[in-house]
Amino acid sequence: METILSLKNLDKKYGKVHAVNNLSFDIQKGNVYGILGPNGSGKSTTLGIILNVVNRTAGEFSWFDGKLSTHEALKKVGAIIERPNFYPYMTATQNLSLICKIKGTSTDKIDEKLKVVNLYERRNSKFRTYSLGMKQRLAIASALLNDPEILILDEPTNGLDPQGIHEIRQIIKKIAANGTTILLASHLLDEVEKVCSHVVVIRKGIKLYSGRVDEMTASNGLFELKVDKNEDNLLKLLKNHEAILNVTKDHETIIATLRNSISATEMNSFLFEKGFVLSHLVKRKPSLEQQFLDLTKNN
């Protein structure tokens, strides 16, 4: 696997604020990464550091296995980390042409990139007539002009209406499907769930989880159980079961969270053999949302 970016023990302090705290993770080619965390958790600061617009306090990061200087590497990166500035009285095509001129790159790709972000039909409309979603899509087109290896987006759907949010997410998926690696920062769990294959969860600059989104979703889950009689004995038995991590009660329902994966059928027959006839048995997986809330709650 090709490593696009590697962060090692990255640290950033703004005076007393420890914005990024000993953060390490790797980005492999072809995946879609989300940095997920509540507002103020250090997402933008992290992106700023790797893009050389924020100075780190300590730690290391290296692009493309350290084969290139950061300056050279950043030529292969497309990034939008603040609201882009385009000229309101110029069209989409004119704005992108100007960017190519400033960067000294060819204008050949403009139409292709406008098509990627579904703005080709509106290419001759002035920027000031664009909706917020269209403006954001034009920013994505501009970040794609140099065919970057990786596209970096900070809160790409902030401030957009539901339709605009949907369009941006579809476009991000399309860009990823074409083989471009993506790193996006978001405070929205469902955004990461919908768009990303991998996630780094951070809170107060500290990494709480990193890995595949689907593995985060597929923890071992829990059972809900009820019995009409003999509840105390059932609780005892569950607490001593090796597959069960923890047993609590929620009103009349017993909640048994699992250490190991065990099916409802196995659990049901085990309990029946021990003389318990359940009036209720459901296996649930905690939602990613619940896990995110558990991971990010104060502790």
Nearer to ligand ADP, 91 or 186 (CB): 186
Helix or strand or coil: residue 104?
coil
**Minimum CB distance to ligand ADP, residue 154 (Å):** 7
**Minimum CB distance to Mg ion, residue 162 (Å):** 21
CA distance 36 to 193: 10
210 touching ligand ADP, by CB under 6 A: no
What mask of x and - would describe binding to ligand ADP in positions 31 to 70, judged by CB under 6 A? ------x-xxxxxxx-------------------------
Cross-strand partners of 199: 34, 211
158 touching ligand ADP, by CB under 6 A: no
**Minimum CB distance to Mg ion, residue 45 (Å):** 8
DSSP H helical segments within 104-206, as ranges?
Answer: 110-116, 132-144, 162-177, 189-195
Residue 296 binds which entry of Mg ion, ligand ADP, none, with Cβ cut-offs from 5 to 8 Å by kind? none
CA distance 292 to 193: 11
Nearer to ligand ADP, 69 or 298 (CB): 298
State which amino acid sits at residue 181: T
Residue 41 CB contacts under 8 Å (≥ 6 apart), including other chains: 187, 202, 203, 204, 205
Residue 47 CB contacts under 8 Å (≥ 6 apart), including other chains: 35, 79, 81, 152, 154, 183, 185
Residue 14 binds which entry of Mg ion, ligand ADP, none, with Cβ cut-offs from 5 to 8 Å by kind? ligand ADP
Nearer to Mg ion, 187 or 194 (CB): 187
Residue 133 binds which entry of ligand ADP, Mg ion, none, with Cβ cut-offs from 5 to 8 Å by kind? none
In this chain, which stretch among 11-19, 101-109, 189-197, 206-214 interacts with ligand ADP, using CB under 6 A? 11-19
Residue 157 binds which entry of Mg ion, ligand ADP, none, with Cβ cut-offs from 5 to 8 Å by kind? none
**Minimum CB distance to Mg ion, residue 19 (Å):** 10
| Dihedral sign from CA coordinates of 62, 68, 70, 72 | negative
Q: Beta 32-36 vs 181-186: how paired, if at all?
A: parallel
Give the binding site for ligand ADP (CB under 6 A): 14, 17, 19, 37, 39-45
